[in-house]
């Protein structure tokens, strides 16, 4: 079978790469225009996009406003139901209908958890609700939940339809759907907010639409994958029994793929929750707005409580989603009693809400029972900064001088022609002319749009975070494989880190390290180290047992087992984990713009604050395209390593 790439170990690759690399570096150093990309060559793409978008908004403004008014109805209903209530206008008076009481919602959450996940899940839900109530985060959490409840069905429906279309037409999936989903999942979340803000204005409608677009890719991917992996016998069965195409899809194929589709459902819920927090910047409100306001005011106590509430709500939704997925995947259906149970739950909510009209403590959690740790946390942070300032400052300066500054100086001072040429050459040698052409197009886009310097700063932050993540993640993962108890603790910690929305990582960082590149690095590492640990643990655990036994039989020491057996076999999967680490870093870069970075993330953030559509979209595309290029390079490297492993052909 022919391969498009060139084997890096052959003499041909060395003879091609060496002179080409020398020519590229020499050209970058000697040519006068190769040091800094000439401004005259740059294209005003951002301004053109801004002008075009404004013209489009003016042309279809009436239609978008009508559509926004139509979409606003379910959003307003959900907000009224969960958080604010509604005003019912009568003949000469206004009757205020309260939201669902906290007693009813808490009871319903615990009851549902008990039926689907047992007492353990019910306890988790009860503790989560207690935190939201006692720390005064209930109303904000219900606003966030209302956004999730409305956004998730839209994201699921559009994702399933897109996945079905990709499954039906494989060529469309390969050339259109998959690249579009790749771009959607690498473009930063903030970039979705800007066109929505221009087209639909500031408010919950824009926030919901941005959330839906951001959250649908996982469901689309899982739908296509689930249907593609179905047994051929199932497809043949639908044809044998005389089903039409629609009947075969909705009555045979989709029900058969339901266990995997429920995994996509859970991922969509979590991405919706994450995006709802970010969308608070354009009017979503809720917990995300509280965190954002606390960060702007450096109110550590308030930010920590609101951020913890986000984590609590995310854990509650995640665990409940897992329980529902597990029950449905095992076929635990209760169709007979489902209708009666639904009526019973609705009656319970109605009864407690009506009771709250007469008993205030039932309708609204008493303020006297609420507590806050804001002052305590602020005092604790002050004490840490006063007593450990020198230690923290020494660590910060050490990391800056010995890791971050050398990378930044190299990337920002190196000639653009040398960097772009070497990256394109490496891509071509690694993956063939297709990957090399992709590298050329991506780097040309960054140069022609005038964002080369911002791109290099972004790569400097992501590369620094990737190095720290690998240095931390690999030893932790190996220790987790060797010591099972530590591995269980590590898995719990990784699940917690993956559950937390990205905004939350900024709060403890700002507490201790203030704003700047070090704060951004720590937040990115906390967010991006999880795939390194998870992929590495899975790779080490997947090493064939007969190889381990052979190593022991040969008398290998633990260090030799790691060097000659475990690490070579696990390296392809570890590379995929590092690739995900880079993608996570690129996604986090936009969030860290809130703590003072000067990269593409800041471009997107400034564009959002100024409603500059072109600037935000172009910067977001730079981030997305860089993510796609890095992901493709790591995947090709992992595939080549996998093919080169001993026994890989058997």
User: DSSP states of 234-269 as a string?
Assistant: HHHHHHHTT--HHHIIIIIIHHHTHHHHHHHHHHHH
φ, ψ of residue 135 in degrees (nearest 5) = -95, 15
What tokens appear for 647 in the block? 């026994």
The one-character DSSP state at 94 is E
State yes or no: pLDDT of 243 exceeds 60: yes
The partner residues of 95 in beta bridges, in order of sequence, read: 88
- Stretch 120-148: mean pLDDT, rounded? 90
Task: Compute the average pLDDT of residues 276-302.
Answer: 76
> CA 122, CA 120: separation in Å to the nearest integer?
5
| pLDDT for residue 354 | 85
Residues 187-232 pLDDT 10s: 777 777 777 877 777 778 888 888 888 888 888 888 888 888 777 7
Mean pLDDT of 387-411: 87
Question: How many other C-beta atoms can be found within 10 angstroms of the C-beta atom of residue 341?
Answer: 14
What is the per-residue pLDDT for 172? 78
**Phi and psi based region of residue 556 (left: phi greater than 0; alpha: psi -120 to 50; beta: remaining):** beta
* Rounded Cα distance, 479 and 172, in Å: 44
> Mean pLDDT highest for which of 77-86, 186-195, 236-245, 491-500?
77-86
Nearest to 314 by CA among 567, 179, 131, 573: 131
**Confidence tier at 8 by pLDDT (50, 70, 90):** very low
Query: Which of 395-404, 468-477, 560-569 reaches the highest mean pLDDT?
Result: 468-477
Looking at residue 441, its pLDDT comes to 94
- The band of 643, judged by pLDDT with boundaries at 50, 70 and 90, is low
Report the C-alpha dihedral over residues 560, 561, 566, 569, rounded to 10 degrees. Answer: 70
Q: For residue 94, what are the β-bridge partners?
A: 89
Q: In whole angstroms, what is the distance from residue 274 CA to residue 584 CA?
A: 13
Please tell me the distance from the alpha carbon of residue 201 to that of residue 503, in angstroms, as a whole number: 23
Answer yes or no: is pLDDT of 336 > 50. no
Kindly report the average pLDDT of the chain as a whole number. Answer: 81
The CA distance from 528 to 464, in Å, is 11
Q: Is the pLDDT reported for residue 91 higher than 70?
A: no
CB 645, CB 575: distance < 8 Å: no
Question: Is residue 208 a contact partner of residue 197, using CB atoms and an 8 Å limit?
Answer: no
Residue with tokens 């993540």: 469
Name the least confident of 39-53, 218-232, 335-349, 394-408: 335-349
Structure confidence at residue 330 (pLDDT): 56
In 3D space, the residue among 317, 269, 319, 309 whose CA is nearest the CA of residue 286 turns out to be 309
Q: Cα–Cα distance between 229 and 222 in angstroms, integer?
A: 10
Query: What are the φ and ψ backbone dihedral angles of 97, each rounded to 5 degrees?
Result: -95, 125
pLDDT at 644: 55
DSSP state of 187: S
The predicted structure's pLDDT at residue 14: 55
Helix/strand/coil percentages in the chain, nearest 5: 85, 0, 15
Q: How far apart are the first and last CA of the chain?
A: 16
What b/e string do you get for 425-452 counting C-beta neighbours within 10 Å, with b at 16 or more? bbbbbbbeeebbebbbebbebbbebbbb
Measuring CA to CA, which residue among 211, 91, 76, 70 is closest to residue 143?
76
């Amino acid at each position: 079978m022919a391969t498009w790439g060139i084997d890096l170990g052959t003499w041909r690759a060395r003879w091609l790469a060496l002179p080409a690399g020398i020519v590229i570096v020499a050209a970058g150093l000697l040519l006068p225009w190769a040091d800094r990309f000439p401004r005259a060559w740059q294209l005003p793409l951002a301004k053109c996009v801004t002008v075009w978008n404004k013209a489009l908004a003016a042309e279809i403004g009436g239609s978008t406003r009508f559509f926004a008014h139509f979409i606003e109805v379910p959003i307003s209903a959900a907000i009224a139901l969960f958080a604010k209530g509604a005003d019912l206008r009568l003949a000469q008076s206004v009757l205020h209908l309260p939201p669902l009481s906290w007693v009813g919602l808490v009871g319903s959450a615990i009851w549902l958890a008990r039926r689907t996940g047992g007492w353990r899940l019910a306890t988790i839900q009860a503790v989560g609700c207690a935190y939201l109530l006692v720390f005064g985060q209930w109303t904000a959490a219900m606003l966030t939940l209302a956004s999730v409840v409305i956004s998730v069905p839209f994201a699921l429906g559009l994702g399933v339809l897109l996945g079905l279309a990709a499954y039906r037409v494989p060529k469309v999936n390969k050339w259109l759907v998959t690249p579009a989903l790749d771009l959607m999942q690498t473009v930063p979340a903030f970039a979705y907010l800007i066109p929505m803000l221009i087209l639909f204005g500031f408010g919950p409608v824009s926030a919901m639409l941005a959330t839906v677009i951001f959250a649908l890719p996982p469901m689309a991917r899982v739908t296509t994958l689930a249907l593609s992996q179905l047994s051929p016998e199932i497809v043949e069965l639908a044809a044998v029994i005389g089903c039409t195409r629609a009947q075969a899809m909705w009555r045979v194929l989709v029900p058969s793929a339901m266990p995997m589709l429920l995994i996509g459902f859970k991922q969509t819920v979590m991405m919706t929750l994450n995006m709802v927090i970010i969308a608070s910047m354009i009017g979503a409100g809720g917990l995300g707005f509280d965190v954002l306001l606390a960060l702007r005011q450096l109110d550590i106590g308030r930010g920590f409580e609101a951020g913890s509430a986000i984590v609590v709500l995310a854990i509650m939704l995640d665990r409940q989603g897992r329980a529902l997925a597990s029950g449905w995947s095992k076929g635990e259906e209760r169709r007979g009693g489902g209708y009666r149970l639904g009526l019973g739950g609705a009656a319970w909510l109605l009864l407690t809400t009506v009771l709250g009209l007469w008993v205030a403590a039932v309708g609204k959690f008493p303020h006297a029972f609420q507590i806050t740790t804001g002052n305590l946390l602020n005092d604790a942070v002050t004490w840490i900064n006063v007593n450990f300032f020198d230690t923290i400052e020494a660590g910060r300066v050490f990391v800056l001088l010995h890791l971050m500054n050398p990378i930044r100086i190299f990337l920002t001072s190196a000639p653009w022609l040398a960097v772009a040429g070497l990256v394109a050459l490496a891509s071509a040698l690694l993956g063939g002319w297709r990957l090399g052409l992709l590298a050329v197009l991506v780097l040309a886009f960054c140069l022609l749009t005038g964002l080369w310097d911002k791109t290099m700063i972004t790569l400097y932050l992501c590369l620094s975070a990737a190095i720290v993540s690998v240095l931390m993640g690999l030893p932790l993962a190996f220790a987790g494989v060797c010591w099972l108890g530590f591995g269980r603790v590590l898995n719990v910690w990784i699940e917690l880190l993956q559950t937390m929305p990205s905004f939350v990582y900024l709060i403890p960082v700002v507490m201790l390290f203030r704003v700047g590149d070090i704060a951004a690095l720590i937040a990115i590492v906390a967010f991006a180290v999880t795939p390194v640990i998870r992929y590495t643990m899975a790779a080490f655990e997947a090493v064939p047992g007969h190889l381990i036994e052979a190593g022991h039989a040969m008398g290998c020491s633990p260090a030799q087992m790691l060097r000659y057996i475990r690490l070579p076999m696990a390296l392809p999967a570890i590379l995929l984990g590092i690739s995900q680490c880079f993608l996570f870093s690129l996604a986090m870069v936009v969030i860290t713009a809130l703590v003072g970075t000067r990269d593409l993330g800041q471009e997107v953030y400034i564009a959002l604050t100024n409603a500059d559509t072109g600037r935000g979209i172009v910067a977001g595309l730079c981030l997305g395209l860089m993510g796609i290029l890095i992901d493709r390079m790591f995947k090709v490297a992992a595939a080549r390593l996998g093919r080169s492993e001993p026994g890989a052909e058997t």
